[in-house]
Amino acid sequence: MFEPFYISFKLASITVLILFIIALPLSWYLSQTKSKIKPFLEALTALPIVLPPSVLGFYILAALSQNSALGAFFKETFDISLVFNFTSLVIASCFYSLPFMVQPLQSGFESLNTKMLEASYIAGKSKLQTLLFVALPNIKPALITAIIITFAHTVGEFGVVLMVGGSIPGETKVASVAIYEMVEIMDYKGAHIYSAIMLGMSFVVLLAVYTFNAKHKEKFGL
Amino acid sequence: MIKIDILKKLHGASGKMDLQVSLNIKEGEFIALTGASGSGKTTLLRILAGLEDAEGKIEVANSTWLNNTKSLSPQKRSIGFMHQVSALFDNMNVLENLLFIQKDKNLALRLLSITGLIELQNRYPKTLSGGQKQRLSLCRAMMRKPQLLLLDEPLSALDAQMRSKLQEEILMLHREFNTTTVMVSHDPSEIYKLSTRTITLENAKVIKDGNTKEVLLKMQGSQKFSFEGELLELKKVDIVVIAIVAIGQQLVEVVLSRQEASAFKVGQRVILGTKAFSPTISHPSL
C-alpha cells in the first residue's frame, strides 16, 4: 500500500547522494571562479527551475530513448533500457533537482570570509583540504538546506517523473504519481491519505531545516 | 636574507600606478610598513604571501618564491599572516585552530601560554573577545614557524590598552622565535616599540627606508617638541582666535592672533609645537 512512498524516498535518497557528489565541486568552482564562463554555467544550472517539467521530461526522453545514440548504445552494449524504469527516474531527478543542491551550496561558499580560506592556503592546506575541513563545516546551514530541499523537491516532483518513468507499479510509480492516479479513478479516500502524508512530512522537514538553522546561528554566529 | 624586487600594476583610487618595491630584508628583522591608505601596503603583503601575482623576484633564504618563470603558491611559501580583523576557523575551537595548521601540540600549548589563552583552549572563536581573537590569530600565524611573518594592521581594531598588551606579546614572540616580520601600522608608538626599520610607501613607491628611531624622531625645523593633529575649529574670541586641535584622542586649545589664524583652514593637518619653553612631562590625571 505504501510502496509508492518507498519508491519516492529511495529515488530521493539516491538523487541526493549523486547530486551532492556532482554539486560539491561545481558549486565550489562557481563560488571561487572569476572566469567568464561562470554566468553560462550558472544559467545552465538554473534552467530546471524555470523550464516546464514537460520540456525537461521531453528532452530527457529524447536523449535517453532507444532512438537516440546514447539510448541505443546502452541497449546494445549492456541491454539496459534508459527509459521507463527506475534508472531513468534517477537520471531525470538529477537534472530536475540540480539547482536545488548547487545554489544553496554556492551561496554558502560565497558568504564565507575569503580571508579564512586564504589563511588555510597560507597554512599549506590544499584546495581540497580547505574545502573539506574549513569551507564545508562553516556552511552547515547551507549544506543542510541543500540536502533537505533537494530531497523534498525530488519527492515532490511529478511531471518529469511521469514523462520519463511512466507509472509502473513497484518500479516508477512514486507517491505524487500515485495520488494523480487515485484522483483520476476517483479514489478520493486514498488520495486524501496520501496527500495528508505528503503535506505532513513536507512541513516537518521544512520545520526541521529552519529550526536547525536558527539554532546553528545562535551557537556559531554563522 | 630576503630579496624582493617586484612590480605590479595597481588600479588605485587615484588612477593607475605601478607598485614598485625593491628591498633586502635581513633575517630576524622587524620591519614596519607605513604610508597613507591606498599606497600599496596590503598589496605588497599579499604579493609576498603569494595571494596576488606580480612580476619580478622574491627570494627567501635559499629558495625562490617568485621569478620570471615560476610563482610558488601560498601553500608552498613559509608564511604567517595576520589580518586586522580575525579570520579564524569558526568551526574549530582555539586549540584546533592551531593544530589544523600543524599537528604540534607542544608548540600550540606554548604559544597559547605566551599569549594567555591556555585557559580558553576549548572555546570557539565566536565566544572570544576582539583581543583574544587577535591573540589567537597571532598564534595561528606562528604555528608554521614561518620564515616570514606578515602582520596587516594587526592591532588597529583594538582599544589602546589591549593594543599595548598585544604589542608586548608580539615582541615576546619575536624575541623567542626571531621570525623575520613585516608589519603594516599607522601607529607611531607601535612602530617605535616593535620595529627596527621603517619603510614608508607613497603612491606605491618606497619614499623612506631607515632605522625606525631616525625616521620617527626626525624633527621639523628647530622645534624640540611637536605633535601632528587635525584642526577642528577656529573660534573667534575678542581679538584673538582659539584653535581647537585634535591630537590622538586629546583636544588641545591654542591661542592665535587673527593674522596667524588666517593662514589655517578647519580640517587641515597641523603641527603643534613649542620652541621657547622647555616642556615638562607629567602623569596624565586619571
Task: Provide the domain limits for residue B96.
Answer: 2-216
Give buried/exposed letters for B97-107 (b at 16+ CB in 10 A, else e). bbbbbbeeeeb
The CATH code of the domain that includes A53 is 1.10.3720.10
Mean residue pLDDT of chain B comes to: 87
Q: Which residue of A has its CA nearest to B82?
A: A119
Torsion of CA B98, B103, B108, B109, to 10 degrees: 130
Task: Let me know whether B178 and B247 are in one domain.
Answer: no
Task: Provide the domain limits for residue A183.
Answer: 3-220
Residue A212 has pLDDT above 90, yes or no: no
Whether residue B81 is contained in a domain is answered as yes
Task: Let me know whether B248 and B163 are in one domain.
Answer: no
Chain B residues whose beta carbon lies within 8 Å of the beta carbon of residue A115: 83, 85, 87
> Per the structure, how many domains does chain A have?
1
> Per the structure, how many domains does chain B have?
2
Question: Are A138 and B91 inside 8 Å of each other by CB?
Answer: yes
Task: Let me know whether B195 and B230 are in one domain.
Answer: no
Query: How many whole angstroms separate alpha carbon A26 and alpha carbon A45?
Result: 10
Question: Are A121 and B74 inside 8 Å of each other by CB?
Answer: yes
Task: Let me know whether B123 and B251 are in one domain.
Answer: no
Nearest one of B170, B173, B176 to B194, comparing CA atoms: B170
Q: What is the pLDDT of residue B17?
A: 85
Whether residue B284 is contained in a domain is answered as no
Question: Are B140 and A221 inside 8 Å of each other by CB?
Answer: no
**pLDDT tens digits for range B263-282:** 888 888 888 877 666 555 65
ipTM value, please give it: 0.79
Task: Let me know whether B201 and B256 are in one domain.
Answer: no
Task: Let me know whether B65 and B159 are in one domain.
Answer: yes
The CATH code of the domain that includes B41 is 3.40.50.300
Whether residue B103 is contained in a domain is answered as yes
**pLDDT tens digits for range A48-75:** 999 999 999 999 988 888 888 888 888 8
Closest residue to B87, CB basis, from A116, A124, A140: A116
B151-170: average pLDDT: 88
Whether residue B254 is contained in a domain is answered as yes
Closest residue to B101, CB basis, from A123, A126, A221: A123
Give which of B43, B100, B102 to mutate to test A binding, by max A Cβ within 10 Å.
B100
Task: Let me know whether B149 and B242 are in one domain.
Answer: no
Helices (H), A33-85: 38-50, 53-64, 69-78
Q: Are B55 and B8 in contact (CB under 8 A)?
A: yes
Task: Let me know whether B211 and B269 are in one domain.
Answer: no
Residues 84-103 of B with CB under 8 A from A: 85, 87-91, 100-102
Whether residue B283 is contained in a domain is answered as no
Whether residue B265 is contained in a domain is answered as yes
Task: Let me know whether B94 and B231 are in one domain.
Answer: no
